[in-house]
A and B are shown apart, each in its own frame.
Chain A
Amino acid sequence: MKEFRYERSPDPAAAVALLAREPGGAFLGGGTNLVDLMKLGVATPDVLVDVRELTSAEVSDLPDGGLRIGAGVPNADLAADRRVRERYPVLAQALLAGASGQLRNRATTGGNLLQRTRCGYFTDVTRPCNKRSPGSGCGALHGVHRNHAILGQTFEGPGACVATHPSDMAVALVALDAVVRVLGPDGERSLPIGELHRLPGNDPSRDTTLRHGELITAVDLPPLDLPSRYRKVRERASYAFALVSVAAALRVEDGVVADVRLALGGVAHTPWRARAAEETLLGRPATEEAFAAAAGAELAAATPLRDNGFKVPLARNVVVRTLLDLSGGTR
């Protein structure tokens, strides 16, 4: 690990101002991802500005019936929050499906959103990786990539990257149309969570659209009035990242899909909002065939790699099953 200075600030604005002056600095949340990457030499900040106790650790009610989640709320506390459990089960389930009890106790909401890919070439500084070392190539493209992306990858050139975003929580937040509140050197702004993460495009080194020094202060959840759930498939029963996951919310009225939200995890560089599937479903009968057609519509764009083609039928099956479970249907 490279040497660094450790700083605390009296308030978020001061932290932002401090980091703005430090181009090589980084915010420190729970550290469960950043400290890991620093040990590996993947992250090499020269200043750490500790924001874990600086950003709010409160979950508060919003006037519209939604919730505001402070960026400092630990993942464990958020999953245990009664309002989240009752009103946003998809979020509680996504959080509980992630990492371990110990890690969730330490990991923060802000840090979870910004955790970096688990690609084995990214985390090994002796290997080529366009995300870590732009222009060095993508080791995973023709290497070990069973758990890499099937949608939205970049295959050619210095932007080549086929990594996935590892967060479970973010998949639920994307399905929930959460809004991310950010404090930057130029003041506050809000962005829909769908605009936070980005596809690799021609610059996989950037996971998100945040600029240096921008601090996530909170995440706002709009009210949700439909049943929701999260389903994660992984290679062991617990304590493993998703192969594929689905965050879904569905309301069926008179046998017809009245409202639906669908997002996929483990399939792309971002948590993947399944808009094509949603559009296919709205107003259609809530049947297994319709669910399968919707999943098919979303996955038609899939471009799997040599060893991860299984994610296409896997994602399709999990979408169908989750929607069936939500619609109360069986098969």
Chain B
Amino acid sequence: MTTIDRVLGAGIERIDGPAKVRGSAPYAFEQDPGEPITHLALVQSTINRGRITRLDPSAAEATPGVLAVLTPANAPRLSGELTADLPVLQSLDVHYQGQVVAAVVAETSEIARAAVGGVRVEYAAEEPDVTLRADRPDLYAPAQVMAGFATDSVIGDVDGALSTAAVTVDATYETPAQHNNPIEMHTSMARWDGDSLTLWDANQGPHTIQRDLMTAFGLTAGQVRVISPYVGGGFGSKAFAHPHQILAAMAARVVGRTVVLELTRQQMFSLVGHRTPTIQRVRLGADSEGRLTAISHEVVEHTARIAEFAEQTATATRVMYAAPHRRTTHRLARLDVPPPTIMRAPGETPGMFALESAMDELAHTLGIDPVELRIRNEPPRDPERDVPWSSRSLVECLRTGAERFGWAGRDLRPGVRTDGRWLVGTGVAAATYPSRRRKADCRISVDGRGRYLVEIDGSDIGTGTWTALTQIAADALHVGLGEVELRIGDSRLPFAGGAGGSTGLASWGSAVVLTARQLRARLESLGGQPPPDGLTVDGGVPGPSPHAEQYSMHSFGAHFVEVRVDADTGEVRVPRATSVYAAGTIANATTARSQFLGGFCMGLSMALHEESLQDEHFGHFVNHDLAGYHIATNADVGEIDISWLDEEDPWVNELGLKGIGEIGIVGAAAAVANGYWHATGRRIRDLPLTPDKFFR
């Protein structure tokens, strides 16, 4: 065994760690644009729907230090190909609360923010329509849902099977609108040199942002450079371009100076997307042994009037359990809301809350242990696509988790355990997430002294890419970590898809491995020695795994939690949890553990706290800051036991990596809600589990 072969999988410390802890790793705003920076501040609509009738920027324009006020009347025209919320300041129509209606550029941030108050805007407002209900007459079926999934899936006779089932569950679950809220606020700093634009930007994939900027301003790839080596979290909200990138570029063009736009936390509640609220009716039919005969999962969610975003909420239900009769549907209401977007495991996160809660309810109805119920319904093949699994270790995750958690001997009865004034219970839920690979290009060069440069436009949004990709490259090149220099986070680098859908390392890693193989082959043909002036090889992966059609590819996991509910107050604590995952190859044990942990804790946060509260009359999100929108604090997180199974999957990609960024959140909220029920005997079907619900 050589140490060189073993860097993959080892718990190497983060390469970017020392710079991050000191705060010297430059995030978007912290980059040096090479000239003084001017500041952009935004004027936002206070109505959800209507038209601007009057816009008077004169007081703002007259403020000393203000360089320009951009309005729909004077803003540069953008390409008509832009869609959704990207054509900013192009018309007087207002489509959602918080839409940008003007923008002020000034010498300092203080002046810009203050001058916003000097822009007078009047509207002709129409009554907004912002409330999602399952009985709305205008619900419609989109052509497809996110990630290319079919809107509906129907197999067999679900209603017939439900009507004859020995046992049924029929329950409706609701999840509220949620906001991604990465701690780094979305920031774009733009500089033009002639007709070339440089954008230092917080995003999950520079090429994705570059593409929209090219479209917006009619530029070529060579004219737009997006630089993002360090990104302070994204969770989906930084995956796609939003109005702020366009605005920063537009303003920089108008004033001929470098302009930075740092969104405020409040603005992030309308300008960078959110997770749709969902209303989900789940019906399960089973025989008396707990074998499912029918599964029905019907989802109602919202999208914006100006953009269709159809979250794929019921898709996990298509792969989780065996049942001959099955149906999943998605219906949307077009509302006067800001465009929703992806938020960590879009689809699986809300969907598995519903399905895994319903499984818990079924287990109770049958008097079967909920772990056992899941094991009894393990499907040998993908139950809807009817293809084999590339690998599936859910049962082992459940068994291992039960063992580590100490599940055996659990009393099935709810509401019977106390510890002082605490009501105590335990809950379980399963997790799944698809494994995909996307197109990625890569360039690897070696110089005459045997130093390697690996270039690929991957992103590290906290996911550990800097470290894991360096490890993968070192292994693939058969050299030590110290001989590899990695470059990511720059649209000038070879194309790669963004960090999203847990595809990052699977795609970039595969591209690096294949390119490294090519390079090594070339080197071998040259006698093993790099030529004096070096050698460069371009390679990559073209897209999905060639086996994606023959196999169903998913990671799986299981969560076990202890839940305590204060009998007097309804306060909820989760003092301990165990999660076990099967996600193929784990590239770096250290950063992977953090990814699983972070995912699980976000699920815990969703279960206990997260909820964007919309005012039904005014239509805005009222709790639009981090004091109002609660995310878990350190004190909310207890002992968490994270582990994973050794799982080899030869089909998913070159490395056998299934992706780990999202599976942690999937099912976590259901485990907590199931534990809450076990503690209290109360089934809360609408998240979050705030104390008020204890008193219903």
Contacts and interface: CB of A to CB of B under 8 A. Distances in A.
Q: Do A and B touch (CB < 8 Å)? A: yes
A2 B114 contact: yes
Size category of the B interface is 35 or more
B636 to A, nearest CB: 5
A235 B623 CA distance: 13
A233 B571 contact: yes
Given A120-B628, A144-B623, A236 B691 contact: no
Interface in B98-150: 110, 113-114, 117
Contacts of B632: 236
Contact of A146 (B113, B692, B694): B692
A310 B691 contact: yes
A125 to B, nearest CB: 9
Q: Is the interface of A mostly helix, strand, loop or mixed?
A: loop
Q: Is the interface of B mostly helix, strand, loop or mixed?
A: loop
Nearest to B636: A237
B271 to A, nearest CB: 15
B569 A143 contact: no
B175 interface: no
A142 B692 CA distance: 18
Contacts of A120: 613, 622-624, 628
Interface string B602-644: 0000001100011111101011100110101111100000000
A62 interface: no
Nearest to A319: B568
Given A127-B618, A318-B569, A237 B110 contact: no
Size category of the A interface is 35 or more
B570 interface: yes
Nearest to A316: B568
Interface in A203-255: 233-241, 243
B377 interface: no
Contact of A144 (B615, B636, B692): B615
B690 interface: yes
Contacts of A308: 692
Residue of A2, A118, A121, A126 ringed by the most chain B CB atoms within 10 A: A126
Given A120-B628, A233-B569, A243-B691, A143 B622 contact: yes
Contact of A236 (B113, B618, B630): B630
B114 A143 contact: no
Contacts of B46: 126
B573 interface: yes
A284 B221 CA distance: 82
A321 B421 contact: yes
B569 A239 contact: no
A29 interface: no
A292 to B, nearest CB: 12
Contact of A314 (B110, B608, B609, B695): B695
Nearest to B47: A126
Given A144-B623, A318-B568, A321-B568, A235 B691 contact: yes
Interface string A120-153: 1100101100000000000100111010000000
Contact of B618 (A139, A237, A241, A318): A139
Nearest to B264: A39
Interface of B: 46, 110, 113-114, 117, 421, 568-571, 573, 608-609, 613-618, 620, 622-624, 627-628, 630, 632-636, 690-696
Given A120-B613, A307-B692, A318-B569, 5 more contacts: A121-B622, A143-B615, A143-B622, A237-B636, A239-B635
